[in-house]
Structure 1
Amino acid sequence: MGRSGPVRTGAGRSPGAGPRPRRTPPRRVLKDDRGVSVLEFAGFLPILLVIGLAAIQLGLIGYAAGQAGSGARAAARVTAQGGDGAAAGRAAMDSGLDADVDTADDGELSRATATVTVPVLVPFVGSGWQVTRTVTMPTDE
């Protein structure tokens, strides 16, 4: 015996509509990942700041070394010509730096030593770092 009545193809769908699209399950709030990148950035930000401060501190060490070299050269040059080399060495360096210049002249050679205390940007790395540069020049006769 055969079936009687219309053939059902789906609730409210026409017979030639094709397969029914899959329904996606509703998203659960606990599995939502919005805002995770902000939390990752907030967790990584202190590390980025420490790396940035360390790079700036290395730059300050290089700056202090350059200033010590300039001061020692100026002091040795002026001492070799018979002048006040210590004052010339301090004048050749940045006035904001804590620097000390020592000179010596033994008649043939003039020697100047400049010592600069490195400014500390990062407080937990310690203090009291010093950069020393020594320059020797022949004394003018």
Structure 2
Amino acid sequence: MRGTVRTRRGSRPRVRRDDRGQISIEFLGFLPILLLIALAVVQLGLAAYAVQQAGTGARAAARTATLDEADRKIGPVAAGKAAMSGWAGADAVVEASEGGGEVHATATVEIPTLLPGVGPWHATRTATMALPAEPGGTTAP
């Protein structure tokens, strides 16, 4: 056993003075790496949450755009932003357009960055929903 001196059989080994604090110094050297890994894991969670919020906003905007004008309380853009959580919906960009009997909605959310020197990143999700049938029984072109 390196770094220890045995005194007599059955007694605890005595640590030499020059080995004291070695583990603490090794841990302090490894601590920045552990903190960087922890920040990266939290950053990954924030990115996943932002992607989920963008998808929710796009679906809400597309769903609202399929309603008749008289049934809408708010527009598709406002509905998409309202469906997201506070920080995600505050600066989100939501767009909705009709064409070919469908509504296409796109929501873009900025991903907050924790790691120094990276970003800004954005999460973009789209949703497509069919327009309802015309009152005469035909579908929209």
Could you tell me which of 54, 78, 81 is aligned with 1:90? 81
Change (3 A) 1:140 1:44: same
State whether residues 107 and 139 of structure 1, in contact with CA within 8 Å, keep that contact through their aligned partners in structure 2.
no
Cα shift at 1:34: 1.7
State whether residues 71 and 92 of structure 1, in contact with CA within 8 Å, keep that contact through their aligned partners in structure 2.
yes
Equivalent in the alignment of 2:94 = 101
State whether residues 53 and 122 of structure 1, in contact with CA within 8 Å, keep that contact through their aligned partners in structure 2.
yes
Equivalent in the alignment of 2:127 = 135
Could you tell me how far apart the structure 2 residues matched to 1:35 and 1:79 are? 66
Equivalent in the alignment of 1:122 = 115
Show structure 2 runs of 5+ residues with no match.
1-7, 9-13, 134-141
Equivalent in the alignment of 2:27 = 41
Could you tell me how far apart the structure 1 residues matched to 2:97 and 2:41 are? 36
Could you tell me which of 106, 109, 128 is aligned with 1:113? 106
What is the TM-score of this pair, normalised by structure 1? 0.74
Cα shift at 1:122: 1.2
C-alpha offsets along residues 7-66 of structure 1, whole Å, 9 cap, x if unaligned?
A: xxxxxxxxxxxxxx8xxxx9864xx31211100110000000000000100111100000
Percent of aligned pairs with the same residue? 50
For this pair of structures, how many residues does the alignment match? 114
Show structure 1 runs of 5+ residues with no match.
1-20
Equivalent in the alignment of 2:64 = 78
Could you tell me how far apart the structure 1 residues matched to 2:119 and 2:109 are? 13
Equivalent in the alignment of 1:7 = none
Question: One-letter code of the match for 2:102?
Answer: L
Structure number with larger C-alpha Rg: 1
